[in-house]
Structure formats: C-alpha cells, structure tokens
Amino acid sequence: MYYFYQQLEHTLEFVDDNLESNKWHFGVAPEAGFVYLLESVYAFVNVRYNYAFSAENEITGISTPQSYLTFNIGFAFTPITYF
C-alpha cells in the first residue's frame, strides 16, 4: 500500500484547500540486489522499482499510476573469527 499526498500550488501561496489530493494506492515493488563479503565487511547493493496502481486524483479527476526507482547501498561489519 502506498499513500500519496499531492497539492497544487499557485504563485507563492496556497490557493485553496480543495486543491489537494490524498489517496491510498495498491502497488508492487520488485527488488533485486546482491551481498558481497570482503573479509569482515558485508556490502549490500540493491535496486527497487515501486509501482502504485491507478487511483483517481481529486485535483484533476484523472486516474494516474505512480512509480519510482530506488537504489540502496549498505554495509555490515562483523568481528573476525577463525574456526
């Protein structure tokens, strides 16, 4: 589930409170990545494509899907142990 809040602004100030839209969308998020071990450090890299299915926009009245792509990098440190 995705929650989107959209607001239409005109000039430098808000025009009216009825020019905003907040909707829940159903969606999917396929993800791919890998983990690489280098001695005592794990490196994580992944990419996720988020797609929220169409829901009617209250501002324009048009049903539009939303999508975006995210990239993540992470590290995990572990103590060195030898068995």
DSSP letter string, the chain: -EEEEEE--BTTB---TTSEEEEEE-EE--EEEEEEEETTEEEEEEEEEEEEEEEE-TTT--EEEEEEEEEEEEEEE------
Distance CA 59, CA 48 (A): 29
Quick check: is 36 in a domain?
Answer: yes
pLDDT of residue 36: 92
Quick check: is 54 in a domain?
Answer: yes
Tokens 């030898």 locate to 82
Report if pTM > 0.85: no
Distance CA 52, CA 47 (A): 17
pLDDT of residue 12: 57
The total number of structural domains in the chain stands at 1
Quick check: is 82 in a domain?
Answer: no
In which domain, by residue range, is 71 found? 2-77
9-36 pLDDT, tens digit each: 666 565 555 577 788 889 999 999 999 9
Quick check: is 10 in a domain?
Answer: yes
The mean pLDDT value of the chain amounts to 83
pLDDT of residue 33: 96
